[in-house]
Each structure stands twice: as structure tokens, then as C-alpha cells.
């Protein structure tokens, strides 16, 4: 069997997901990035997105990231994201609610960083949760 | 035996009630320490990965960044200190406040101004009472901080750090927190938060495991730009978690000694009450005996 990736997704509150994977897809500041085993050492900044991990046993795991970093070295992938969440654990309704609230604030003219961060985080969570639903 | 029996019993009852309360608080604190320690342990991977990433970037680029640059002759120095929201935890908050006073003294001698950032109601109350200025304060989460709070605090600190001194910015940021050494010892620590000293995070590349040559996307500087604020947040987060665990540990200890003291007091009061009761009985008997013999004398004389 070919090499596998050791993936670790850590958030500020602990390890969100870890395990072996065949590929990892995430969105960096430059665009979507797919990591396969044997990838060269790599460090990139992420933007809020729904990341996908194809696990070694053939499942697809979707994670909501709110930016952060991905680093790859020696088939070890670590994703660092402050509020990383596994899509299956996201309450879609609550996330949608949050997204709507953030959108409202943005439309009301609160264009500060914090509101934008909230909006993007909620958007990533909604996207991830929807994606996870589709694949099931 | 000055106090009356009734008074003694009343006091014993009230001390017993107090003991029940302190005992309950001791148990609550000890169950929450475990939780606080678990949270602190869960935050470790994040810090570890961040350190690794920072050291990877540091090996690659020259690390000249506004957040790592030392300010020559700093004028305004910010001190963030973390106290508790409530009392009943022994000398926890006053130890931190004392340490801050020491820092202030030192900075003062060097001719620098101190700007205070406070976490916890106790610290806020202390400064307000003395009429000392507070730049910013946060409260309501000292025993169970959330990461959002750490973000809030560190963003404020960063904002002030990046402002020019003339416009109310600060040149250096220090943090005073309480480190949880063990259940028995918690010591206040003083750490410089900004400018960053990343050097400690840079690992020596040994021959067997050379540091991989990372490819950066888009480039090391941009990555560092995004990395360092996270690093600050994770430091503040770490300080908050350590302080929360220390606070609970010191609360548990304080409540345990309060319970022990109450127990001792109860024992003493019980003994006094028994003695008082005994002497009351003795007095009654001797009164009866005295009365009876006086009566007997009276009838004999008749």
C-alpha cells in the first residue's frame, strides 16, 4: 500500500480531528490546494473554507476552517485553525442563523475585522455542514 | 467561662453552617481544577504546532517584522495582569497585584510609564479603589476562560502595540499571570509578550532530523504576518488557562484551610459549651443542696 498522510487538525481548544488520510484538500490564500502522500514540505496560510480529508478507510471527512495554516512535511499534515470544527458536529441551523446575523451586521455597515471574521467563519461552517450532508 | 450556654450553642451552629459552605466550595473547586487542567492540556497541540510553524519561518526568513522589532528606549509599557473575579481563593489575586507593583517599581526607576490592562474583578477593584488609571479591562471569565476572550484581549493589545507611542500606543507589553506548578504551588510569573522573542522557538537542526526546507505560499513574510497574531493569541490563551487552573487550586486550598479552621472552632466551642453546661448543673445542684440543708437546719431548730 502506498504511503498515507498523518493528518492532524488542531484548534485552540484541542485536536479537532486526527487520523490517516489519502488526500487533503483545503483553500489557501492562493487557491485550492490538494495534498497527496509524498508532498514536498510546504507551509501556507489558509482562508476560511470547508476542507476535505479523504481518510485511509475511504471515508470523506469535511472540516470547517476559519483560516489558519497548513503545514506538510514527511507525510505529516497539520492544519492549524483557531475554530476548526468537524462538519458532522456542526449544527447547520445554528450556523445558518449565525451567518444571517453576521450578514445583517455587515449590511448595517459594521465593516470591522471582527464582524468579517465572524461572517467568514459562519460561511465556512455552513458550507462544510451542507457538504457533509450531501455526501451522506 | 464568660459566655452563656445559649450563646455558645448559637455560635457553634453558625460556625457549622459556615463549615458546610466552605466544604462545598472546596469540593467544587477540586472538581473544577481537573476540568481546567484538561482544557489547558487540550490547548497544547495548538501551541506546539504554532511554535513549529514559527520556527520553520524563522529558519527561512530574517524575521524582521513589526511584532519582533525591539523598540529603542521604550516609553510606555503595557502590563496585562490576570486576577480573579471573586475572592475566597487565598492570596491568589494579591500575589499577582504585588508582582505587578514590583514590575511597576522597576519600570518607574527606568523612567518608563506603565499602562495597565486588567483581567478579573479583583484587579479592577484594586485599581479603581486607588484611583489608578486602567487602559482596558475584562471580567467575568476568570475561572473558565474561552478562546474568544483570548482573541478579544490579544487583539486589543496588538492594536495598541502597533499604534505609535504619541497616539497612545505602547512600546512593550508584559504579562503577569499565575503559573500552575502543581496543586500545591502556583507562582506569579512575569513574561514579555511583545515584541516577540521568537529565538527561543527556533530549534537547532540536528544532523539526523534536519529541519525540512519548507515551501511557503505565497511567501514567508505573508505567512509570518498571519502567523504572529495567532502566536500572540495562543500565548494569551495559555496565560488565561494557567491562571484559571491556579485560581481554582488556590481556592481549593483556601477553602480547605477554612474548613479545617471551622472544624477546630467547632471543637473548641463544643468543649466550652459542655463545660458551661456542666457548671450550670453543678451550680444548680449546689443550690438545691444548699437550699435543702438550710431547710433542714430550720426544722431542726424548731
Q: Looking at residues B214-240, what average pLDDT do you find?
A: 86
Return contacts of B149-154, CB within 8 angstroms, 24+ apart: B149/B240, B150/A12, B150/B233, B150/B234, B150/B236, B150/B237, B150/B240, B151/A82, B151/B233, B153/B80, B153/B117, B153/B119, B153/B236, B153/B240, B154/B229, B154/B232, B154/B233, B154/B235, B154/B236
Question: Which residue in chain B is spatially nearest to A78 when comparing CA positions?
Answer: B49
Tens of pLDDT, residues A57-93: 888 888 888 888 898 988 889 999 988 888 888 888 8
Its pTM stands at 0.85
> How far from each other are the two terminal CA atoms of chain B, in whole angstroms?
41
> Is A55 an 8 Å CB contact of chain B?
no
> Is A10 an 8 Å CB contact of chain B?
yes
Judged against a pLDDT cut of 90, whether residue B82 lies above it is answered with yes
Model confidence at A2, pLDDT cuts 50, 70, 90, reads low
**A99-114 as b/e: b if 16+ CB within 10 A:** beebeebeeeeeeeee
> Is A42 an 8 Å CB contact of chain B?
yes
Q: Looking at residues A17-42, what average pLDDT do you find?
A: 89
Q: Which fold would CATH assign to domain A5-87?
A: ATP Synthase; domain 1 (2.60.15)
CATH code for position B173: 3.40.1380.10
CA dist B124 and B128 (Å) reads 6
Please check whether residue B302 lies inside any domain of the structure. Answer: no
Set of chain B residues whose Cβ sits within 8 Å of the Cβ of A39: none
Question: Which residue in chain A is spatially nearest to B228 when comparing CA positions?
Answer: A68
Q: Looking at residues B251-272, what average pLDDT do you find?
A: 94
Please check whether residue B130 lies inside any domain of the structure. Answer: yes
Q: Looking at residues B58-69, what average pLDDT do you find?
A: 72
pLDDT given at position A135: 66
Tens of pLDDT, residues B264-289: 999 999 999 999 999 999 999 999 99
With an 8 Å Cβ cutoff, are B42 and A13 in contact?
yes
pLDDT given at position B4: 84
Please check whether residue B270 lies inside any domain of the structure. Answer: no
Q: Looking at residues B18-38, what average pLDDT do you find?
A: 93
Please check whether residue B71 lies inside any domain of the structure. Answer: yes
pLDDT given at position B201: 46
- Quote the number of domains for chain B: 1
* Domain extent for B109: 63-198+213-254
Higher pLDDT, residue B72 or B93:
B93
CA dist B263 and B90 (Å) reads 18
Q: Which three cell numbers stand for residue B228?
A: 504572529
**E strand spans, B91-214:** 113-119, 136-138, 172-180, 186-194
Distance from CA of A59 to the nearest CA of B (A): 25
Average pLDDT, chain A: 85
- Whether the upstream peptide bond of residue B195 has omega within 30° of 0, thus cis, is yes
With an 8 Å Cβ cutoff, are B223 and A33 in contact?
no
> What's the ipTM?
0.81
Question: Which residue in chain A is spatially nearest to B237 when comparing CA positions?
Answer: A12
With an 8 Å Cβ cutoff, are A12 and B147 in contact?
yes
> Is A69 an 8 Å CB contact of chain B?
yes
pLDDT given at position B211: 63
Please check whether residue B183 lies inside any domain of the structure. Answer: yes
Closest partner residue to B234 (CB to CB) among A12, A43, A69 is: A12
Set of chain B residues whose Cβ sits within 8 Å of the Cβ of A15: 42, 45
Question: Which residue in chain B is spatially nearest to A27 when comparing CA positions?
Answer: B217
Q: Looking at residues B11-39, what average pLDDT do you find?
A: 93
Amino acid at each position: 500500500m502506498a504511503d498515507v498522510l498523518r493528518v492532524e487538525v488542531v484548534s485552540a481548544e484541542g485536536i479537532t480531528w486526527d487520523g490517516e488520510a489519502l488526500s487533503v484538500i483545503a483553500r489557501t490564500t492562493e487557491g485550492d490546494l490538494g495534498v497527496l502522500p509524498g508532498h514536498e514540505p510546504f507551509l501556507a496560510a489558509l482562508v476560511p473554507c470547508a476542507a476535505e480529508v479523504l481518510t485511509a478507510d475511504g471515508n470523506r471527512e469535511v472540516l470547517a476552517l476559519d483560516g489558519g495554516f497548513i503545514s506538510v512535511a514527511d507525510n505529516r499534515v497539520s492544519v492549524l485553525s483557531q475554530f476548526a470544527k468537524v462538519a458532522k458536529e456542526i449544527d447547520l441551523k445554528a450556523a445558518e442563523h449565525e451567518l444571517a446575523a453576521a450578514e445583517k451586521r455587515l449590511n448595517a455597515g459594521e465593516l470591522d475585522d471582527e464582524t468579517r471574521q465572524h461572517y467568514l467563519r459562519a460561511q465556512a461552517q455552513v458550507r462544510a455542514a451542507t457538504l457533509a450532508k450531501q455526501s451522506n | 467561662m464568660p459566655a452563656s450556654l445559649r450563646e455558645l450553642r448559637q455560635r457553634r451552629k453558625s460556625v457549622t453552617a459556615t463549615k458546610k459552605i466552605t466544604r462545598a466550595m472546596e469540593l467544587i473547586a477540586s472538581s473544577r481544577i481537573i476540568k481546567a487542567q484538561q482544557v489547558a492540556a487540550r490547548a497544547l497541540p495548538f501551541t506546539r504546532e504554532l511554535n513549529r510553524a514559527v520556527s520553520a519561518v524563522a529558519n527561512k526568513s530574517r524575521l524582521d517584522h513589526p511584532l519582533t522589532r525591539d523598540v529603542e528606549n521604550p516609553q510606555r509599557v503595557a502590563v496585562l495582569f490576570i486576577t480573579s473575579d471573586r475572592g475566597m481563593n487565598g492570596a491568589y489575586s494579591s500575589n499577582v497585584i504585588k508582582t505587578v507593583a514590583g514590575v511597576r517599581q522597576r519600570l518607574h526607576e527606568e523612567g518608563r510609564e506603565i499602562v495597565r490592562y486588567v483581567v478579573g474583578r479583583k484587579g479592577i477593584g484594586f485599581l479603581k479603589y486607588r484611583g489608578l488609571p486602567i487602559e482596558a479591562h475584562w471580567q467575568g471569565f476568570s475561572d473558565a476562560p474561552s478562546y474568544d476572550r483570548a482573541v478579544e484581549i490579544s487583539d486589543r493589545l496588538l492594536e495598541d502595540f502597533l499604534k505609535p507611542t504619541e497616539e497612545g500606543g505602547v512600546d512593550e507589553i508584559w504579562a503577569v499571570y499565575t503559573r500552575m506548578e502543581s496543586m500545591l504551588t502556583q507562582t506569579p510569573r512575569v513574561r514579555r509578550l511583545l515584541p516577540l522573542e521568537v529565538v527561543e522557538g527556533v530549534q537547532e537542526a540536528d544532523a539526523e532530523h534536519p529541519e525540512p526546507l519548507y515551501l511557503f505560499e505565497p511567501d514567508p513574510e505573508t505567512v509570518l504576518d498571519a502567523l504572529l497574531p495567532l502566536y500572540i493569541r495562543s500565548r494569551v490563551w495559555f496565560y488565561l488557562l494557567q491562571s484559571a487552573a491556579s485560581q481554582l487550586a488556590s481556592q481549593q486550598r483556601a477553602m480547605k484551610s477554612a474548613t479545617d479552621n471551622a472544624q477546630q472552632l467547632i471543637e473548641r466551642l463544643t468543649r466550652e459549651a459542655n463545660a458551661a453546661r456542666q457548671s450550670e448543673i453543678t451550680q444548680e445542684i449546689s443550690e438545691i443542696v444548699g437550699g435543702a440543708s438550710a431547710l433542714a437546719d430550720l426544722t431542726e431548730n424548731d
